């Protein structure tokens, strides 16, 4: 039975079918019901940010990194942008050319003229002349490995007002922990936290997100970390929302430096103190 109450007023049924959130006959199965719940839940976090930007100017520029099939971009455009000022624009950044082509075709079919899709890596997008010099909102959902860090660098360079991240796997920190483990064990009992391989991976992932938050705070952002309810099937359900408030930078910069030094991660300074 179709759960019509899960579909928001004005939401495009055609779009939901194209994204395989609704079946061709307009119904929800168990998997599609879960996807719709996730997307609607995330929209609840992003909608207030969109409205806050519009208090300053009606045209919003949003860049979605690691867009994949562009579920997020299409849902945002459908629920918010198509009713708003025509100067608003969503850029979907994706490395897989076939997904970029499909997204372009779907946007054209739905007459979503304020959407563009670029076949670029997150790192390449930082210097792309196809994207404005400044943007309002940057999103990155499950951008793998260092792509989330590249999305942060992109947002900092573009002076983004809001950054919305659902971090994915990141192996750099864990690799440094493994490399330095024998030396660190002799120097610091804290190394026991990541001595076992499973703990190395999980603690490395946790530390990476802590460092990312400190990095954002060191650039004047207010950072909130919460859990995406409804994403229980995934271990990666941490949601980081950063809002630029021009906050004092010295103390978080010091904490970031101290933490890197305390954990033997000095060689990662280039990652978290750039740009």
Mean pLDDT score across all residues of the chain? 88
CA distance 270 to 235: 28
Scanning the structure block, which residue is given the tokens 């019509």? 4
Name which residue leads in pLDDT, 169 or 130: 130
The yes-or-no verdict on residue 4 having pLDDT over 70 is no
**Which residues have C-beta within 8 Å of that of residue 234, sequence separation ≥ 6?**
none
- Report whether 145 contacts 244 (CB < 8 A): no
Report pLDDT digits (tens) over 169-191.
778 888 998 888 767 655 677 88
CA distance 43 to 139: 12
Scanning the structure block, which residue is given the tokens 């404005």? 132
Token pair for residue 64?
Answer: 């979605």
- Report whether 96 contacts 174 (CB < 8 A): no
Q: What are phi and psi of 267, to 5 degrees?
A: -70, -10
**Which residues have C-beta within 8 Å of that of residue 29, sequence separation ≥ 6?**
23
Sheet containing strand 238-244, edge to edge, reads 115-119, 89-94, 61-65, 137-141, 162-166, 238-244, 221-227
What is the assigned CATH class of domain 1-168? Answer: alpha beta
CA distance 154 to 48: 22
The string of DSSP codes covering 39-94 is HHHHHHHHHHHHHHHHTT-S--EEEEES-TT-HHHHHHHHHTGGGS-TT-EEEEEE
Scanning the structure block, which residue is given the tokens 């979503």? 112
The yes-or-no verdict on residue 258 having pLDDT over 70 is yes
pLDDT at residue 230, as a whole number: 59
The string of DSSP codes covering 101-145 is HHHHHHHHHTT-TTEEEEE--HHHHTT-TTS-S--SEEEEES-TT
Instruction: Name beta bridge partners: 58.
Output: none
Token pair for residue 258?
Answer: 């101290």
Distances (CA, A) of 85 to 5, 25, 77: 28, 33, 11
| Region(s) of the chain under CATH 3.40.50.150 | 1-168
User: Checking DSSP bridges between strand 89-94 and strand 221-227, what pairing results, if any?
Assistant: unpaired
Alpha-carbon Rg for the chain in angstroms: 20
Token pair for residue 244?
Answer: 């630029």
User: Checking DSSP bridges between strand 162-166 and strand 238-244, what pairing results, if any?
Assistant: antiparallel
The yes-or-no verdict on residue 132 having pLDDT over 50 is yes
Report pLDDT digits (tens) over 135-165.
999 999 887 778 899 999 999 999 999 999 9
Distances (CA, A) of 159 to 46, 47, 245, 267: 18, 20, 12, 26
Say whether pTM exceeds 0.85.
Answer: yes
pLDDT at residue 2, as a whole number: 42
pLDDT band at 51 (very low <50, low <70, confident <90, very high): very high
Q: Left if phi > 0, otherwise alpha if psi is -120 to 50, otherwise beta: which for 22?
A: beta
The yes-or-no verdict on residue 108 having pLDDT over 70 is yes
pLDDT at residue 195, as a whole number: 86
pLDDT at residue 183, as a whole number: 72
């Amino acid at each position: 039975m179709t759960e019509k109450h899960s579909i928001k007023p004005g939401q495009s049924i055609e779009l939901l079918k194209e994204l395989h959130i609704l079946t061709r006959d307009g119904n929800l199965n168990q998997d599609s019901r879960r996807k719709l719940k996730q997307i609607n839940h995330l929209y609840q976090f992003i909608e207030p940010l969109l409205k806050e930007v519009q208090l300053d100017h009606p045209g919003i520029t949003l860049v979605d990194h690691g867009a994949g099939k562009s579920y997020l971009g299409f849902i945002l455009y459908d629920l918010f942008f198509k009713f708003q000022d025509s100067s608003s624009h969503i850029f979907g950044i994706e490395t897989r050319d076939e997904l970029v082509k499909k997204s372009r075709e779907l946007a054209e079919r739905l007459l979503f003229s304020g959407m563009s899709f670029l076949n670029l890596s997150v790192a390449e997008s930082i210097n792309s002349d196809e994207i404005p010099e400044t943007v309002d909102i940057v999103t990155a959902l499950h951008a793998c490995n260092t792509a989330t860090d590249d999305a942060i660098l992109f947002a900092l360079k573009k002076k983004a007002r809001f950054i919305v991240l659902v971090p994915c796997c990141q192996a750099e920190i864990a690799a440094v922990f493994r490399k330095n483990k024998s030396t660190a064990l002799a120097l610091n009992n804290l190394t026991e936290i990541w001595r076992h391989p499973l703990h190395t991976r999980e603690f490395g992932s946790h530390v990476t997100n802590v460092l990312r938050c400190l990095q954002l705070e060191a650039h004047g952002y207010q950072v909130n970390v919460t859990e995406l309810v409804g994403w229980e099937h995934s271990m990666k359900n941490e949601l980081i929302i950063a809002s630029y408030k021009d906050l004092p930078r010295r103390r978080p910069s010091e904490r970031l430096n101290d933490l890197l030094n305390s954990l033997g991660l000095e060689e990662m300074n280039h990652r978290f103190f750039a740009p």
